[in-house]
Amino acid sequence: MRVLQVCAEIFPLLKTGGLADVAGALPPALRAQGADVRVLLPGFASILDGLAEAVEVGTLAPPAGMSASGARLLYGHLPACNVDAYVIDAPAYYHRAGGPYADADHHPYADNHLRFALLGWTAAALAQGHDPYWAPAVVHAHDWHAALAPAYLRAAAEARHQRMPGSIYTVHNLAYQGLFDARQFGDLRLPAHFFAMHGVEFHGRLNFMKAGLYYADRISTVSPTYAREIQGPEQGCGLDGLLRDRAHELSGILNGVDESVWNPATDTLLESHYDAARLELKAECKAALQRELGLEAAAGRPIFCVVSRLTEQKGLHLVLQALPALVAQGAQFALLGSGDAGLETSFRAAAAASPGAVAVKLGYDESFAHRLIAGSDVIMVPSRFEPCGLTQLYGLQYGTLPLVRRVGGLADTVADTRLETLDTDATGFVFDEFSAAGLLQA
């Protein structure tokens, strides 16, 4: 089966979160099952730099509202990702000084609706034979950035009275929907009747996520529990009604770990390699971590770690509240994260208050994430909500016990330690109540 995966980021070329890990790992995993997978990506500088043997498939002539003058579609190979890729080379849209979605001050780009409409529109063009040598049987769009692909496919099917390739839309996080002003709908050149409750309209605004949820043939999300949770008002982010309507077409499929990247037996970023049979070598990783972070060199003190975006979603204020009691009980704590300025300041203060026991590294550092997870004893993920969560899976892989809240994919991947499960299926520690007391108790 020919599958076109449409996404905005892909590990290791461009990553802001778990989406990139999954986008990078899925094509080889599908290929191993016999699928013929290509990816379609926006031409951000790091993606274009990673594209080898590029040929031009043709110029793109998107509708007038998308004024990406001179946009070309390239096809080549991404050796770092081991996948063949189409890349939209539209410098006016994708060559920006800041990040992929927002400028250096974290303000979303004013033309984001156009930048990502072009991604969805190009996916639909490929589905209609833009590349004479290859066309997908299935278009697989990920998150709001790619969510217009199913809408453009539906528009083409209506205009041409033709069946189009199938489409599947995967929700990696329902909280990021791609909401825009209603006036911007006109720029997308979708049929006017698409701007309706049964379409992309959402409380008077334009909602990209809703386009994916409404027009795709099938919907998936990244864990069975999250698939259930988003059908309720608490976690449905206003889209639970639509998700309930489509419940029979919605599946929760757990994310997996790419073992070519996350495996302590082969991970070249580690001080020592280990596995379940050679756990004593994990202690070397721990000692190296304590040296690197200036933590007291004490093999017997458990290190609790966090690797995370610093946002409200992740429940990290519970960690801040629990820290003094954890440290008083002899634990060490280390965090790698970046994001919310208030959380960054609070964690910096916590490190200053407990030198030798608490260490905080602010910023984004892929290789340190590996050393931190390998060297720690426990990884904490106390999220308020969590579609799947990957760091607890990396913890399981590295013999670093996850301490998680029972929500979303965390509930599906970590089995709590109780007396009766200790020798059977326990894999970590799970708590329910969203409070520092709940976390500390676990």
Q: Does 18 bind ligand ADP (CB under 6 A)?
A: yes
Smallest separation, CB 390 to ligand ADP (Å):
4
Q: Does 139 bind ligand ADP (CB under 6 A)?
A: no
Instruction: Name the amino acid, one letter, at 266.
Output: T
Task: Give the SS3 label for residue 20.
Answer: helix
Instruction: Name the amino acid, one letter, at 246.
Output: R
Smallest separation, CB 222 to ligand ADP (Å):
8
Q: Find, among 232, 258, 188, the residue nearest to 28 by Cα.
A: 258
Q: Encoding tokens for residue 296?
A: 């007291």
Q: Which residues ranging from 327 to 346 are in contact with ligand ADP (CB under 6 A)?
A: 336-338
Closer Cβ to ligand ADP, 236 or 324, answer by number: 236
Instruction: Name the amino acid, one letter, at 142.
Output: H
- 214 backbone dihedrals φ, ψ, rounded to 5°: -85, -40
User: How far is Cα 377 from Cα 23, in angstroms, rounded to an integer?
Assistant: 28
Q: Does 307 bind ligand ADP (CB under 6 A)?
A: yes
Closer Cβ to ligand ADP, 78 or 369, answer by number: 369
User: How far is Cα 397 from Cα 32, in angstroms, rounded to an integer?
Assistant: 21
Smallest separation, CB 391 to ligand ADP (Å):
5
Q: Which residue among 50, 199, 375, 389 contacts ligand ADP (CB under 6 A)?
A: 389
Q: Does 315 bind ligand ADP (CB under 6 A)?
A: no
Q: Does 259 bind ligand ADP (CB under 6 A)?
A: no
Pairing of strands 36-42, 83-89: parallel
Smallest separation, CB 345 to ligand ADP (Å):
16
- Residue closest to ligand ADP, measured at CB: 18
Q: Which residue among 2, 12, 17, 340 contacts ligand ADP (CB under 6 A)?
A: 17
User: How far is Cα 303 from Cα 305, in angstroms, rounded to an integer?
Assistant: 6
Q: Which residue among 365, 377, 384, 434 contacts ligand ADP (CB under 6 A)?
A: 365
Closer Cβ to ligand ADP, 152 or 398, answer by number: 398
User: How far is Cα 382 from Cα 361, in angstroms, rounded to an integer?
Assistant: 19
Smallest separation, CB 382 to ligand ADP (Å):
13
Determine the size of the site formed for ligand ADP (CB under 6 A): 17
Closer Cβ to ligand ADP, 90 or 270, answer by number: 270
User: How far is Cα 169 from Cα 250, in angstroms, rounded to an integer?
Assistant: 10
Q: Encoding tokens for residue 115?
A: 């930048």
Smallest separation, CB 78 to ligand ADP (Å):
18
The torsion defined by the Cα of 225, 228, 230 and 233, in degrees rounded to 10, comes to -120
Closer Cβ to ligand ADP, 308 or 397, answer by number: 308
User: How far is Cα 237 from Cα 87, in angstroms, rounded to an integer?
Assistant: 32
The count of residues in the chain is: 442
Neighbours of 62 (CB within 10 A): 20
Q: Which residue among 308, 332, 400, 413 contacts ligand ADP (CB under 6 A)?
A: 308
Which stretch, 15-23, 64-72, 158-166, 420-428, contacts ligand ADP (CB under 6 A)? 15-23
Q: Which residue among 366, 425, 432, 433 contacts ligand ADP (CB under 6 A)?
A: 366
Rg of the chain over all Cα atoms, to the nearest angstrom: 23
User: How far is Cα 112 from Cα 115, in angstroms, rounded to an integer?
Assistant: 5
Residues near ligand ADP (CB under 6 A): 17-18, 21, 307-309, 336-338, 364-366, 369, 388-391
